[in-house]
């Protein structure tokens, strides 16, 4: 046995001594192993077979009603120095955290099988990929990790070659919310998760490794681990530009990643290629450009709202070989959620459906499916070197102030734009409506270290020889006085992406404003949309007074991170504030037609 494999075996032995499982199974990732897991879970009731005529290879998992989402208040980043975790994370000293969670792990796998899951985040031969090993007592986790990562023998072989891997230890425990923690030890490349079977808490390759631990790895190794989709836009000439985009939840990430062009664009020959829908790892290439991989091999998507109207590609993707979690079921045993036709008979908890009990499918119900099943899956998702990124897009749900699209002046301004992004709350989410929650780069729950250091790391990529992507901000959610969305969204968002690509290519000049470059009205292809001139003008309007207030609030937000906030970002905020102030003295001309 190689010394590198011995290190892995030693750790497995230590975990087994602590958790005391009845047996240990090393996962090889084979089809036969997956089928055995499925049969086992059908027998135990962990999985329920769905209609195999309409949904071949599809199964339903119901989690405990107290275990249906990520638990931010029980998620800790455990660095030696508290300030390294930053005010954006909950912190616990590593010795205290290990002692607290190891006491829960003590004997927790008695009578259970301990599964050892070697996995690779990213194409198995990619220099950008990173490996990990998750130890778990949940066959549901094993089945999902097989779909979401490159899992099994090939990953173990790479771990044996490299000798480094992220250690992840997970147990469902008793599923007691009072005995539940998700601990991250970035300096030790270690994750410990106890008491939850929910994906974001239990599939340790996902948010725990691919964002919290990887963001820390990326800082020390000179790359970026980001909460972004990656989409390729192919024009009629056959040229493809790749765009990485970060949005907080409920802002249409998966829909944009699987976008279907409007009919006119399709006739002209435009195509959209899905590289990733959630996580993006970017590294500078030899030519100075940023290259991106999707570290995941599957989608762990939110089911409610996924429909033929919003995302037909996603619906097609999950028609076979999918594990559904906490969805409802129809009379003929098909998966169902709000947004689909038909009627549920059983809700997500297995009860006869009664509207008095709330939605039939849990609002955070999920599907786990291989990315390769997506009709728009890009074969370049397997490129070892990644795809070159032409543009980075930030966005949020803002009913007013923020225009449909603007381009940052340069990289430094773009980092400020990403740092300031956020969404306003809706009535459905909380009692208070219109409260702005900033979620810098959509990484607030996922940055594994101090946000000030994170912004400094972003700024560090702007160096001689770098050919960095242009940075844009979009807002699909601007509302008119009637309270209705002004922009149609979905496939028509390609019109905005086309303008971005035209800016990358230097084909349009745009309109310079204090907040960045906006499209001139004639630069957006708006035919067949039926938008009147007043609506277009409103979508592209820059309210200097409103923006001055916004910039002051952004300044306060930056101040909240203390002395680690880079001075360059403060200076950039002040530059934009001054430009707005100067523009108020000399009002901007109307948007050129």
Active-site residues: which are they? 251
Q: Is 364 known as a binding-site position?
A: yes
Q: What would the DSSP string read from start to end of 394-437?
A: EE---SSSS-SEEE-SSHHHHHHHHHH-EEE--TTT-SSSS-EE
Tell the residue number behind the tokens 């630069």, with chain if given: 523
Q: How far is 88 from 459, CA to CA, in rounded Å?
A: 19
Give ∠ CA 12-18-23 in degrees, rounded to 5. 60
DSSP letter, residue 154:
H
For residue 318, the SS3 value is coil
Q: How far is 360 from 353, CA to CA, in rounded Å?
A: 6
Q: How far is 439 from 369, CA to CA, in rounded Å?
A: 27
Q: Is 30 known as a binding-site position?
A: no
Q: How far is 394 from 402, CA to CA, in rounded Å?
A: 12
Contact 168, 210 (CB under 8 A): no
Q: Is 227 known as a binding-site position?
A: yes
Q: Is 250 known as a binding-site position?
A: yes
Q: Is 313 known as a binding-site position?
A: no
For residue 498, the SS3 value is helix
Q: Is 193 known as a binding-site position?
A: no
Contact 296, 254 (CB under 8 A): no
Q: Is 560 known as a binding-site position?
A: no
Q: Is 390 known as a binding-site position?
A: no
Q: Is 136 known as a binding-site position?
A: no
Q: How far is 95 from 79, CA to CA, in rounded Å?
A: 10
Q: How far is 90 from 187, CA to CA, in rounded Å?
A: 16
Contact 223, 196 (CB under 8 A): no
Tell the residue number behind the tokens 């192919």, with chain if given: 234
Q: Is 255 known as a binding-site position?
A: yes
- List CB contacts of 309: < 8 A, sequence separation 6 or more: 339
Q: Which phi and psi (to 5°) does residue 110 adopt?
A: -60, 130
Length of the chain: 593
Give ∠ CA 390-396-397 in degrees, rounded to 5. 145
For residue 134, the SS3 value is strand
Q: Is 353 known as a binding-site position?
A: no
Q: How far is 306 from 316, CA to CA, in rounded Å?
A: 11
For residue 453, the SS3 value is helix
Contact 366, 301 (CB under 8 A): yes
Contact 140, 197 (CB under 8 A): yes
Q: How far is 66 from 196, CA to CA, in rounded Å?
A: 9
Q: Is 253 known as a binding-site position?
A: yes
Q: Is 207 known as a binding-site position?
A: yes
Q: Is 491 known as a binding-site position?
A: yes
Q: Is 308 known as a binding-site position?
A: no
Q: Is 444 known as a binding-site position?
A: no
Alpha-carbon distances, residue 189 vs 16, 297, 309, 376 (angstroms): 19, 21, 42, 34
Question: Beta strand pairing status for 323-325 and 59-61?
Answer: parallel
Q: Is 266 known as a binding-site position?
A: no
Q: Is 397 known as a binding-site position?
A: yes
DSSP letter, residue 590:
P
User: Which residues are annotated binding-site positions for GTP?
Assistant: 250-255, 366, 397, 490-493
Known binding-site positions for substrate: 70, 198-200, 249, 364-366
Binding-site positions: 70, 198-200, 207, 227, 249-255, 278, 364-366, 397, 490-493
Q: Which residues participate in the annotated binding site for Mn(2+)?
A: 207, 227, 278
């Amino acid at each position: 046995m190689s010394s590198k494999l011995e290190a892995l075996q030693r750790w497995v032995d230590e975990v087994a001594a602590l958790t005391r499982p009845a047996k240990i199974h090393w996962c090889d990732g084979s089809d036969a192993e997956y089928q055995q897991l499925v049969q086992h879970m059908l027998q135990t009731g962990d999985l329920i077979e769905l209609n195999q005529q309409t949904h071949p290879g599809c199964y339903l998992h119901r989690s405990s009603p107290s275990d249906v989402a990520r638990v931010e208040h029980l998620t800790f980043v455990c660095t030696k120095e508290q300030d390294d975790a930053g005010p954006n994370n909950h912190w616990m000293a590593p010795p205290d955290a290990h002692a607290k969670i190891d006491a829960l792990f003590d004997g927790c796998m008695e009578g259970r099988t301990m599964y050892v899951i070697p996995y690779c985040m990213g194409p198995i031969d990619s220099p950008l990929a990173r490996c990990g090993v998750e130890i778990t007592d949940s066959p549901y986790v094993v089945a999902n990790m097989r779909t979401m990562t490159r899992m099994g023998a090939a990953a173990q072989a790479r771990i044996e070659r490299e000798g480094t891997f992220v250690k992840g230890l997970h147990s469902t425990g008793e599923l007691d919310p009072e005995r539940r923690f998700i601990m991250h030890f970035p300096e030790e490349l270690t994750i410990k998760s106890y008491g939850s079977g929910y994906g974001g808490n239990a599939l340790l390759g996902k948010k725990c490794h691919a964002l919290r631990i990887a963001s820390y790895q990326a800082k020390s190794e000179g790359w970026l681990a980001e909460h972004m989709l990656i989409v390729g836009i192919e024009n009629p000439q056959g040229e493809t530009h790749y765009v990485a985009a970060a949005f907080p939840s409920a802002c249409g990430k998966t829909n944009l990643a699987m976008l279907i062009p409007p009919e006119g664009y399709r006739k002209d020959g435009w195509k959209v290629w899905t590289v990733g829908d959630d996580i993006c790892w970017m590294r500078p290439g030899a030519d100075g450009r940023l290259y991106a991989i999707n570290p995941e091999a599957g989608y762990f998507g939110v089911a409610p709202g996924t429909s033929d109207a919003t995302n037909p590609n996603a619906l097609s993707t999950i028609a076979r070989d999918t594990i559904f979690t906490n969805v409802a079921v129809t009379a003929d045993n098909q998966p169902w959620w709000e947004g689909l036709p038909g009627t549920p008979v059983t809700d997500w908890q297995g009860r006869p459906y009664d509207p008095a009990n709330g939605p039939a499918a849990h609002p955070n119900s999920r599907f786990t499916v291989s990315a390769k099943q997506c009709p728009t899956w890009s074969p370049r998702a397997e490129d070892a070197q990644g795809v070159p990124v032409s543009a980075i897009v930030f966005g949020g749900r803002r009913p007013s102030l923020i225009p449909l699209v603007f381009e940052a002046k340069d990289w430094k301004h773009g980092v400020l734009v990403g740092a300031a992004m956020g969404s306003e709350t809706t009535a459905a989410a909380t009692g208070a409506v219109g409260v702005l929650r900033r979620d810098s780069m959509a990484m607030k729950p996922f940055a594994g270290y101090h946000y000030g250091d994170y912004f400094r790391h972003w700024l560090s990529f702007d160096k001689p020889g770098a050919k960095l992507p242009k940075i844009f901000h979009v807002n699909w959610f601007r509302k008119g006085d009637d309270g209705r969305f002004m922009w149609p969204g979905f496939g028509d968002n390609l019109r905005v992406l086309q303008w971005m690509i035209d800016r990358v290519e230097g084909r349009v000049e745009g309109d310079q404003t204090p907040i960045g470059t906006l499209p001139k009205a004639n630069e957006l292809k708006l035919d067949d949309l039926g938008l009147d001139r007043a609506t277009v003008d409103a979508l592209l309007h820059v309210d200097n007074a409103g923006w001055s207030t916004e910039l002051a609030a952004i300044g306060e937000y930056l101040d909240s991170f203390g002395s680690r906030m880079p001075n360059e970002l403060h200076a950039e905020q002040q530059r934009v504030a001054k430009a707005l102030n100067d523009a108020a003295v000399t009002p901007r001309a109307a948007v050129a037609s």
